[in-house]
């Protein structure tokens, strides 16, 4: 069985090609059971175990079974560890033989960003050039790269509840050649945006409907229906 690291995933994937692959997958006969959600009582902070299985339908030429296993431990920040970790197990669908174990957290970042960009392919104007990214966590750079690969983005306004984090991420992405700038006024940025992408853990609304103009495209989690915890997908 192969073990595929985050670096190997980064080297193998390209945003727009992944969006194309997701489009094809969404149109394929794939069985996706309801995600398993388990609460784990902990003395520091309750944790969560998520199990997300799927497999190709009986008509598939090459059948596969896959399961993503994700843990969410909110108290990990106090231990200098990521709060979200996981793995993806790929299995041969005709024999049950394990084929590969992939870094689940990295795979989720790529998949979520590509799915958001794919949605903008149908929801956003073809000439959309201004993107607002709400949140500057681990997912934000992947979302920005994916949307810049999908649309003719000329300006990316990055907002975060901690401005210094937005400044840091903006500098890193600008060094990659992406047109990213940190902003402090979220409302003004939203009013000027063509596409809005939000990836935060906020439990309160950050974007007001009154700020949105006609033709604006937004993306949200398909499971919890919020523009927040992308790990649900």
What confidence category does residue 213 fall into, taking pLDDT thresholds of 50, 70 and 90?
Answer: confident
Q: Are residues 102 and 134 in the same domain?
A: no
E-strand stretches of 2-142: 2-4, 30-31, 36-40, 47-56, 64-72, 84-92, 98-103, 130-134
User: What does the pLDDT average to over 107-126?
Assistant: 95
What confidence category does residue 58 fall into, taking pLDDT thresholds of 50, 70 and 90?
Answer: confident
User: What does the pLDDT average to over 28-42?
Assistant: 95
Q: Say which residue, 225 or 82, is predicted with more confidence.
A: 82
pLDDT at residue 66 in the model:
97
pLDDT in tens, 75-94: 887 888 888 899 999 999 99
The angle that helices 15-26 and 140-150 make with each other, rounded to 10 degrees, is: 80
Q: Are residues 128 and 98 in the same domain?
A: no
Q: Say which residue, 231 or 86, is predicted with more confidence.
A: 86
User: What predicted TM-score, i.e. pTM, was given to this entire model?
Assistant: 0.85
User: What does the pLDDT average to over 119-148?
Assistant: 96
Q: Indicate the number of domains in the chain.
A: 2
Q: Give CA angle at 117 (35, 68), nearest 5°.
A: 25
Q: Are residues 56 and 139 in the same domain?
A: no
CATH classification at residue 96: 3.30.1780.10
8: containing domain: 2-107
Residue 116 lies in a domain: no
CA–CA dist 166, 150 (Å, integer): 22
Q: Is the dihedral of CA 67, 201, 141, 71 positive or negative?
A: negative
Residue 75 lies in a domain: yes
Q: Are residues 142 and 48 in the same domain?
A: no
Q: Are residues 127 and 226 in the same domain?
A: yes
Answer yes or no: is pLDDT of 187 > 70. yes
Most confident of 169-173, 201-205, 227-231: 169-173
CA–CA dist 1, 187 (Å, integer): 49
């Amino acid at each position: 069985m192969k073990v595929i690291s985050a670096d190997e995933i980064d080297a193998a994937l390209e945003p727009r090609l992944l969006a194309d692959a997701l489009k094809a997958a969404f149109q394929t006969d794939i069985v996706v059971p309801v995600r398993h959600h388990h609460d784990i009582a902990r003395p520091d902070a309750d944790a969560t175990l998520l199990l997300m299985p799927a497999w190709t339908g009986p008509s598939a030429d090459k059948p596969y079974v896959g399961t993503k296993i994700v843990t969410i431990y909110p108290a990990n920040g106090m231990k200098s560890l990521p709060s979200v970790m996981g793995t993806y197990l790929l299995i041969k669908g005709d024999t049950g033989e394990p084929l590969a174990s992939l870094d689940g957290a990295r795979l989720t970042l790529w998949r979520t960003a590509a799915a958001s960009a794919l949605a903008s392919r149908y929801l956003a104007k073809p000439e959309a050039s201004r993107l607002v990214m709400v949140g500057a966590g681990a997912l934000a750079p992947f979302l920005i790269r994916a949307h810049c690969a999908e649309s003719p983005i000329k300006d990316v306004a990055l907002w975060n509840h901690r401005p210094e984090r937005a400044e840091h991420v903006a500098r890193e992405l600008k060094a990659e050649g992406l047109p990213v700038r940190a902003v402090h006024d979220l409302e003004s940025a939203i009013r000027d945006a063509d596409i809005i992408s939000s990836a935060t853990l906020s439990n309160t609304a950050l974007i007001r409907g009154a700020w949105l103009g006609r033709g604006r495209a937004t993306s949200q989690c398909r499971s919890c229906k919020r523009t927040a915890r992308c790990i649900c997908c």
